[in-house]
Structure 1
Amino acid sequence: MIILPPGEAERIGQLQLTGVEQEILQSKQQSQVTYRYGSIGELEFELKVRSAIVEAARALHASGAKFATFKNSRCNEALWNREPNGGFRLRSGVTPAEGIRDIFRNGWAYAFECATAMVIVLYKGVLDSIGEPAFNTYFADLLLYDWKYDSDLRIIPAVEAYPGDVLYFINPDFNPMSPEWRGENAILLPDGTYFAHGMGIRTGAEIIALLNTRRKPGSTTSAYKTDDIETLDFAYTQRLKTVIARIGTRVYAYGW
């Protein structure tokens, strides 16, 4: 169920939405969970960002970027410095937007594990939603490493999953010889499939089956999808585009 301020609900039919955005909207309208929005613009912004995240997931899948452990990670060192722990730190003089876009343009030069892939997809979705000037302001000095991310990329738990959210498949009996297969992070796509870096675009059943091939010898404990759902704080992300950014311990209005 979607709750909007008085007079705003009637404007839902006026929104110019893609098929993906319309699908998400209808699912939220039919949900037993209550979703409150401060304005029709806040709702529209969430739908647009979710759509951008979905497109970013598909684009990363098509980019040629490979799966690798932290030990074997690689990046385009013209734009990023590879850290000893396998993370990537943006080089001085390179804008955050340039760094993120290069991963999608020159994926062949990159290899990283699945948590880093999820953060990259979320950054790209935000970049395409708030624009390059705002993105460069808020996300300076980027570090891509595991689930470490800039404080302005607000990721929060959710109770229901919609396209653009991150879910987790756990492999309880993973083979200790290949700990990278202890689980798989995945972006939910509109058709019910998932983008899982290193596996591609798969159904949930296919992800589980692949994880099951990486269990301890003799194990009969199946991998499974957990109840964990991570989503962007869309209302906060919208403020990055329209109002205030935090830089260090001070607060600035973007463009001042």
Structure 2
Amino acid sequence: MIQLLGRPFSSSDVWPVGSVERKIVQGMIDDPIVYPYRTIEELRFELKLRKNIIASSRAMNQSDVDFEIFSTARCNPNFWILTGAGGFLLRDDVYPSEAILDIYKNSSLYGFECATAKVILLYHAVLTTIGKTLFNRYFQNLYLYSWHNDPDLGLKPIPTSHFLPGDIVYFNNPEVDPSTIWWRGENAVLLEDGKFFGHGLGIMTSQEIINYLNKMRKPGSNISAYMLNSAARPSYSHLANITKFTQRDTSNKMPYFVMHHNKNSISLERYQRYLNTAMMQQNNIHPSPFLL
């Protein structure tokens, strides 16, 4: 359900039949969850960004980037510093926008795992949506590692079984073969045609992804891979707002704590559990067993 200024909005015919925007809007209308917007421009911004997430996914699929685990990750040293953990730290003499674009331009120089891939394509989509000037102002000091992301991206897992084009979902493989542990799961973007883009797999249907992951189960296993009822989504409303405040001071923005875990292909939910536990331990707070 879409609410515009607190009132139901159901006019999907504002967008052309068959357009990506119309498919997204219709999906929102059919969802029992409320999608609230203060202005029609805010809704249009989300549609534009979701469309660009899909475009960035397809562009990555067509690029020459490789799937690599953290220990064999690689990047272009002209733009990024490869850390010992397998992350990419932005050089201080290049613009964030140029470094993100280089991943697509010189893609053969890059290799990373699937969670990192999703953060990269989100940055690329945001850059395409808001432009270089704003991106360079708000997304400085980038560090690409697993699900680590800039606070202004506002990335969170949303419990849902109703997915929209542009959502990032996770296919879990609970009985993965330890010899190919990086196939413990697959982060994938839902495309406008109902298929999914997963880095390392390409574009597949949900069943094709599940079938592939099932081939990577340990001998004797009997639990199939499956898709979690959760979607990783950036804060569309916040990103829409920063386009209005072009002069906001970002010098005091506190970056997120980096959680190096060396576990490839994990979900955003799992990364946040690791992060919460580490921060509690740092603050001498005994973590709940439910967070472990």
Amino acid aligned to 2:80: W
Query: Whole-Å Cα distance in 2 between the matches of residues 198 and 62 of structure 1?
Result: 12
1:217 maps to what in 2?
A: 219
| Post-superposition offset of 1:228 | 1.7
Question: Mapping of 1:12-51 within 5 angstroms?
Answer: 19-51=19-51
The secondary structure found in structure 1 opposite 2:179 is coil
SS across alignment from 2:229: strand
Deviates more, 1:22-31 or 1:108-117: 22-31
Is it true that 1:247 corresponds to 2:250 in the alignment? yes
Change (3 A) 1:110 1:17: farther
Taking the aligned partners of 1:77 and 1:250, their CA distance within structure 2 comes to: 26
Larger proportion of strand: 1
Residue 231 of structure 1, aligned match among 205, 230, 233: 233
Q: Secondary structure at the match of 2:57?
A: helix
Corresponding residue SS for 1:86: coil
CA shift, 1:227, in A, is: 0.8
Assess if the C-alpha contact under 8 Å between 1:169 and 1:185 holds in 2.
Answer: yes
Show structure 2 runs of 5+ residues with no match.
255-292
Taking a change above 3 Å as real, the CA distance of residues 70 and 39 of structure 1, as seen in their structure-2 partners, is same
Q: Distance in 1 between matches of 2:185 and 2:10?
A: 43
Aligned residue type for 1:3: Q
1:130/1:240 contact within 8 Å kept = no
Matched residues, percent identical? 41
Deviations 1:48-100, CA, capped at 9 Å, x for gaps: 00000000000011111010000011111111111010000111211010000
How many angstroms apart in 2 are the aligned matches of 1:17 and 1:145? 39
Deviations 1:114-146 (A, max 9, x none): 000000011011101111000001111111100
Aligned pairs (5 A) from 1:77-96: 77-96=77-96
TM-aligned CA deviation for residue 35 of structure 1: 1.6
Distance change >3 Å, CA 16–CA 203, structure 1 → 2? closer
Give the secondary-structure state (helix, strand or coil) at the position aligned to 1:242: coil
Matching residue's letter, 2:232: E
1:150 maps onto 2:150 in alignment: yes
Partner of 2:54: 54
Structure 2 residue identity aligned to 1:43: L
Alignment of 1:161-180 (within 5 A): 161-180=163-182
Give yes or no for contact 2:16–2:22 (8 Å, CA) kept in 1: no
One-letter code aligned to 2:32: Q
Q: Please tell me the residue identity of whatever aligns with 1:54.
A: I
CA shift, 1:173, in A, is 0.4
**1:139 and 2:139 are equivalent in the alignment:** yes
AA aligned opposite 1:217: P
Pair 1:192–1:9, CA change in 2 (3 A): closer
Question: Post-superposition, which runs of at least 4 consecutive aligned residues in structure 1 deviate over 4 A?
Answer: 6-18
**Partner amino acid for 1:188?**
L
- 1:247 is paired with a residue whose SS is coil
Structure 1 residues 246 and 235: alpha-carbon distance in aligned structure 2, compared to 1, 3 A threshold: farther
CA deviation profile, 1:10-32 (whole Å, cap 9, x unmatched) = 98755689811111112212332
Deviates more, 1:65-74 or 1:14-23: 14-23
**Any conservation in 1 of the 2:149–2:155 contact (CA below 8 Å)?**
no
The 10-residue stretch of structure 1 (102-111 or 23-32) with the greater mean CA deviation from structure 2: 23-32
Please, what is the CA RMSD of the aligned residues?
2.2
Distance 1:210 1:250, change over 3 A: closer
TM-score, structure 1 length as denominator?
0.91
Q: Is residue 2:196 matched to residue 1:194?
A: yes
Q: Is the 8 A contact 1:9 1:40 kept in 2?
A: no
Mapped to 1, the partners of 2:144 and 2:6 lie a distance apart of 42
Q: Post-superposition shift, 1:33?
A: 2.3
Distance 2:14 2:208 in 1: 39
Cα contact 1:90–1:143 (8 A) shared by 2? yes
Q: Does the 8 Å CA contact 2:75/2:110 hold for their aligned counterparts?
A: yes
> Any conservation in 2 of the 1:11–1:40 contact (CA below 8 Å)?
no
Q: Contact 1:15/1:44 (CA < 8 Å) preserved in 2?
A: no
Q: Aligned pair 1:111/2:114, yes or no? A: no
Answer whether contact 2:48 2:129 (CA < 8 A) is retained: yes
TM-score (norm 2): 0.81
